[in-house]
Amino acid sequence: MSVAQVRRLLRVALIQDLWWIDYEWWRPEPVSRMYFKIVLTDGSTVTVFRDLLNGGWYKQNY
Amino acid sequence: MSAPYVELHCHSNYSFKEGASFISELLQRASELDYPALALTDHNNLCGAMEFADSASLFGIQPIAGVELDIMGGHHLTLLAESRQGYANISNLVSFAYMKADRLAPELDPRFLADHAEGTILLTGCRKGKLPSLVADGKMDEAEEVLRDYLNWFGVSNVFVELQQNLWHGDTERNRALVDLAHRVGVGYVATGNVHYHIQGRHRLHQALTAIQHNKRLDDIDYNILKPNPMFYLKHRDEMAVFFESLPAAISNTTMIAERCSFNVSKDLNYQFPDYPVPEGYTPQTYLEKICHDAALRRYGTINDKVRTRLDEEFRLIGKHNLAGFFLIYYEIIQMARDVMIDLGLSDPEIPLEERPPGRGRGSSVSMLVGYLIELSHIDPLMYDLSFERFIQEDMVSVPDIDLDFPRNIRAELIKRVHAHWGWERAALTGMISTYQTKGAVRDLGKVLGLPQDDIDAVAKRSESSSAKNLANELAANPKFRDRLDAPVWRELIELAYQLDGFPKYLAQHPGGMIISSTPLIDVVPVRPSAIADRYIMDWDKNSIDTLGAVKIDFLALGALSQMQEALILIEQRTGHYPDLSRVDGEDSAVYDMLHRGDTIGLFQVESPAQRQTITSIRPKNLTEMAWEVGAVRPGVGANDGVSQFIKRLKGEPWDYDHPLESRALERTFGVILYQDQPLQLAVDVAGFTASEADQLRRTFGRRNNESALAAYWDRFRDGAATNGVNEETAAKVFGKFNPHYMFPEAHAFAFGVTAYHMAWLKYYYPLEFYVGIFNQHPMGSYSLESLKQDAKRRGVYVLNPDINHSVAKASVKDESVLLGLSHVFGVGAEAAESVRQARDAAGPFLDLGDAMRRTGLRRLELERLTLAGAFDSMVSSRKEGLWEIGLRYRPASPQKSLDLPVQDEMVSLRPETDWEHMTQEYQTLGLYPSGHYMEAIRHIFGPEVLPTHEIGQLADGTRVVTAGIKISFQRPLGKMVFITL
């Protein structure tokens, strides 16, 4: 798998952790996301998540 | 296929407002997942432990008892019972968590763990455990110290580091650190799921319950409190294997631990009936026999063959089931109750117990001759041919409860004395699980979902169905809400309410059930303080106690007995004679004629509108037929249309059995089931069940989520019937006579029927004392004081307004009438009434209103209300003038004594009140109008088409009428017909 960094394509070397949040189903816009803390082939660590409702992938900005 | 997995950390909905699945759902799912075993670790209680263990065998699952305990400091700890001793230790620890801390916020002092470790396996807990919390904070040295403490207390083979992977942020990192620590210290680790529901679909309900528990809306709750995702469900072994792929020992240890935890709550508790210390030379059995023989000689004069045969058989079964000690404990309790009576001035040591029994037995224990002879019951079972098999059988597995009704004053004191005598660890009240129904579900869920409070109130107040599963239908039938069924939040409310229906809500105290044990009860079930001071309740309800096989004694307060006690004492004061109700004629036609007219207002068990309707048809003539009357108007009889069938057959309609094998059960009630015992007899005679199997069938009908169990019972019933030559169609008809609705046991109906007859006898022969008693026990029964006053008037007994110079706090007798008490005036309490009595006792009657004001110190509101109720009518020209005088004289209480100046010059002459004004004043201050009736005042406004109620009885059945009145009572039993009393 690859993650598009700014002007670079890197492969995922390792999924270090994953977690799932599923909240706010009582609101008009519920939240359901699967988070992945991944180590890329250049050694950097980044957290991304997949929105389980719209299928999109996003980078987590801390 | 992955290695087998056992879930060792699992919450049911007995983790109140936290767990989101029934025990049966968890077991069913575990069975589908091929779990060999499952642990139940509810939060701070063992409420579900017996039900879990008892149900597990139906699903082929080995049950493991455990708990998740709150430890001081806000931490969680998981404990599993390996052995009987381990279970006892867990039960003790749960008790200490409540007894030593706030009963609403239990937490265990960890110092208790060391002395209660034997036979227990410790898992270090979820992320709220002390060990995982320290690890997550990076405090590894402290974490190691905690782990070594656990090892010192429990032993290395009994401690496991608990690893949980629920895809909750932090799980992975925490697990790595925990495994490192476990390796370093040399202790095992085990995987658990921290299960809170059986399937992922319950995740939302679990989050809603968490919000309810914290009394917060979902919008406002801290997300750290909510579990973040639907991963807290029972997982397949393959799923767990993926999460712990690099730690196979975490999975294999689950089955290893399960194999060690072989203790089964429902099979291995070996509950022992308590011993009773008997005089030298006796055993409990021989001492009980001596007491009964002596009593039989007093009761019967001689022990004839009938008495001898019956006693021999009962003693044999008592000996077989080792019940002598229990009967002797009840004998001791009756003696204690008699002591309470003597201390309250209601009896005398010289008066034999049987002449003034402190209470009356009810339920199936009334069918025992031994019970009659030791004063447990007031019914001679030989006289009414009552079989003892409902209470005690050859193959009995559990013993039915022994119920005792007492007057309220005796019961309250007796419970305190029983707790004091045996101690809280050996005598505790049974628990009662309050469950969610529509109103509660709508209120709690509506609040956390953020629905407008007005809407929540509107839905909750108007709901007619008790089952929250019907909420969608209820909303659809409501014009204001029918278009919201698919609206956001409302559809979640409907869905979650459906799931929440029947969930345990909290542990409450059973009205009066108690278990007494000579060995510590807390080794069997946790005990905690009740909401009422000096009372203690156990985690188990009636069903779990039945499964345990313990005998539960019900101390119940019966207002009718309080009324009866007071009436008998008043009769003795007036006539010098205390009627012995056990000797009155049980076939007095004058009393029965009164009942046949439906003249039953104020009569225990036969006064409801439905009973008044039925008694005019059944027309009982003796005590056996009083039992018919009392037993017939029960939901379980009406469910099969039994009441109307019985009445028709009683009047001569031809009938026959569905099969001749029904005759033993149904012959005495014309083929109709009136009593709880009769379906049991049918199961025995038609399908070959044993008596205890039939009783288990009865209890299964009353349980929640019983479909699969009932299906299994039908198969057995059908097959058993076939061996007796009963075809399937007939067997189905007979099986269809069982239903989950309540019916009285036959002996219970007899006991209540006799009490109802005794009350009717008192009403007929001593109406004055009867009505004084009922006025003093009110609120009780179905009727207001106004209705009771009218009923009294029909019997020639008048009710007088309270009188400041004659009334005491309660109603009393004056001039052959019922004199209302001062406390019948709204806002005039016992303290105020007592100050009046003391002032009269000190210096004689009050001369006038001013004199009363000076000597009693009553407050202005009390004086005004007493005036409007007529208490000063003998002293004032009109009540208005009385109020005027109060206004002139009244001074609030003050350290400085005010001058008592004359007010005569400031008095005015005011128009006397009209009858209408008196009427409204008395309804406002007393809730009744002693000297008249409101219909007399307004009847003139109705036209001729409005019939008075006394003319309606003369019309043909089916005639449509118009009448007027104020509703006194309204009943709609099982929704079939409406009974209104005007």
Given an 8 Å threshold on Cβ–Cβ distance, is A25 in contact with B172?
A: no
Residues of chain A with Cβ-Cβ distance to B220 below 8 Å are: none
pLDDT at B974 over 70: no
With an 8 Å Cβ cutoff, is B859 touching chain A? Answer: no
CA distance A17 to chain B (A): 6
SS3 state of residue B259: helix
pLDDT at position B526 is: 96
CA distance A55 to chain B (A): 17
Say which range, B5-19, B558-572, B864-878, has the weakest mean pLDDT.
B558-572
CA distance A2 to chain B (A): 22
Beta strands per DSSP E along B145-218 = 159-164, 188-192
Chains A, B: CB pairs < 8 Å? 40
Residues of chain B with Cβ-Cβ distance to A22 below 8 Å are: 203, 228-230
pLDDT at position B557 is: 84
Which residue in the set B167, B488, B492 is minimally distant from A20, CB to CB?
B167
Helices (H), B501-634: 542-548, 559-575, 589-596, 609-618, 623-632
Edge-first strand listing for the sheet containing A8-23: A2-5, A8-23, A31-40, A45-51, A57-59
Asked if B227 contacts B168 with a C-beta cutoff of 8 angstroms, the reply is yes
With an 8 Å Cβ cutoff, is B157 touching chain A? Answer: no
pLDDT at B397 over 70: no
Q: State pLDDT tens for residues B33-77.
A: 999 999 999 999 999 999 999 899 889 999 999 999 999 999 999
Measured on CA atoms in the order B847, B853, B857, B863, is the torsion positive or negative? Answer: positive
Given an 8 Å threshold on Cβ–Cβ distance, is A23 in contact with B226?
A: yes
Closest CA relative to residue B821, chosen from B885, B876, B857, B773:
B773
Both tokens assigned to B656: 């026959």
Residues of chain A with Cβ-Cβ distance to B219 below 8 Å are: 26-27
Beta strands per DSSP E along B862-923 = none
Given an 8 Å threshold on Cβ–Cβ distance, is B171 in contact with A19?
A: yes
Which residue in the set B207, B228, B450 is minimally distant from A20, CB to CB?
B228
Cα distances (Å, whole numbers) of residue B508 to A11, B211, B381, B536? 60, 21, 35, 11
Q: B73 or B982, which is more confident?
A: B73
Q: Can you tell me the distance from the alpha carbon of B704 to that of B22, in angstroms, rounded to the nearest whole number?
A: 9
Could you tell me which residues of chain A have a Cβ less than 8 Å from any Cβ in chain B? 16-23, 25-28, 34-35
Q: State pLDDT tens for residues B82-119.
A: 999 999 999 999 999 998 767 888 999 999 999 999 99
Residues of chain B with Cβ-Cβ distance to A25 below 8 Å are: 204, 492
Asked if B745 contacts B364 with a C-beta cutoff of 8 angstroms, the reply is yes
Both tokens assigned to B783: 């009727």
Q: φ and ψ at B520, to 5 degrees?
A: -55, 125
Given an 8 Å threshold on Cβ–Cβ distance, is A25 in contact with B204?
A: yes
Taking residues B578-597, report their average pLDDT: 91
pLDDT at A5 over 60: no
With an 8 Å Cβ cutoff, is B231 touching chain A? Answer: yes
Q: Can you tell me the distance from the alpha carbon of B9 to that of B326, in angstroms, rounded to the nearest whole number?
A: 38
Residues of chain B with Cβ-Cβ distance to A23 below 8 Å are: 207, 223, 226, 228
Q: φ and ψ at B37, to 5 degrees?
A: -150, 165
pLDDT at position A62 is: 66
Residue found by looking up tokens 């999460």 in the block: B243
pLDDT at B856 over 90: yes
Residue of A nearest to B166 (CA): A19
CA distance A7 to chain B (A): 30
CA distance A26 to chain B (A): 6
Say which range, B176-190, B317-331, B347-361, has the weakest mean pLDDT.
B347-361
Given an 8 Å threshold on Cβ–Cβ distance, is B231 in contact with A16?
A: no
Q: Can you tell me the distance from the alpha carbon of B524 to that of B269, in angstroms, rounded to the nearest whole number?
A: 7
CA distance A32 to chain B (A): 8
Residue to test with chain B: of A21, A22, A24, A25, most B Cβ within 10 A: A22
Q: Can you tell me the distance from the alpha carbon of B772 to that of B777, in angstroms, rounded to the nearest whole number?
A: 9
Distance of CA B70 to the CA centre of its chain: 29
Confidence of residue B935 (pLDDT cuts 50, 70, 90): confident
How many CB atoms sit inside 10 A of residue B980's CB?
Answer: 12
Taking residues B652-661, report their average pLDDT: 95
Given an 8 Å threshold on Cβ–Cβ distance, is A18 in contact with B230?
A: no
Confidence of residue B450 (pLDDT cuts 50, 70, 90): very high
DSSP B398-429: SPPPEEEEE-HHHHHHHHHHHHHHH-TTTEEE
Count of alpha carbons within 13 angstroms of residue B350, beta-carbon side: 0
pLDDT at position B69 is: 98
DSSP B581: G
Please give the ipTM for the structure prediction: 0.91
Given an 8 Å threshold on Cβ–Cβ distance, is B167 in contact with A22?
A: no
Given an 8 Å threshold on Cβ–Cβ distance, is B231 in contact with A26?
A: no
Q: Can you tell me the distance from the alpha carbon of B539 to that of B50, in angstroms, rounded to the nearest whole number?
A: 10
Residues of chain A with Cβ-Cβ distance to B488 below 8 Å are: 28
Taking residues B733-747, report their average pLDDT: 88
Residues near B346 by beta carbon (within 8 Å), at least 6 away in sequence: B356, B410, B565, B569
Helices (H), B362-479: 369-373, 408-422, 438-449, 453-462, 471-476
pLDDT at position A3 is: 63
Q: Can you tell me the distance from the alpha carbon of B530 to that of B506, in angstroms, rounded to the nearest whole number?
A: 12
Asked if A14 contacts A23 with a C-beta cutoff of 8 angstroms, the reply is no
